[in-house]
Amino acid sequence: MKFNGPLPSNATISLGVRKAGAILFEDFVHEVVTGENFTWKYNKAISGQKYEIQGYLWIENQPLSQSQILSVVAPADYELLTI
């Protein structure tokens, strides 16, 4: 994950994932941001399944920004979300 601009010290991020075509995202990461390059892994992915992933930036439990929706087929490595 990459960030456009400086991050506030109290920023947290969350990541949502859904199977392609589904409506709702499942929150699978919610962490305090500790640096510019944040890495993550979705352990429930099924090989060959298409997923959509979106990142969210939060300040004091309020949404501030979100990434584009990234479509990938599992397994996928080195995919980049930008907020």
Q: Residue 77 burial by CB count (10 A; 0-12/13-18/19+): exposed, middle or buried?
A: exposed
**What's the structural domain count of the chain?**
1
In a domain, 82, yes or no: no
Got the DSSP string for 11-33? Answer: EEEEEEEEETT-SSPEEEEEEE-
Residue 35 in domain: yes
Q: Is residue 78 part of a domain?
A: no
Cα distances (Å, whole numbers) of residue 59 to 31, 55, 70: 12, 14, 23
Amino acid identity for residue 73 in this structure: V
**pLDDT tens for the 83 residues of the chain, in order:** 888 888 888 888 899 999 999 999 999 888 777 666 677 888 899 999 999 999 999 988 899 999 999 999 999 998 989 88
d(CA 13, CA 53): 13
Query: Residue 67 is part of which domain span?
Result: 11-73
Domain-embedded: residue 4 = no
In sequence order, the 6+-apart residues with CB closer than 8 A to the CB of 31 are 12, 13, 14, 38
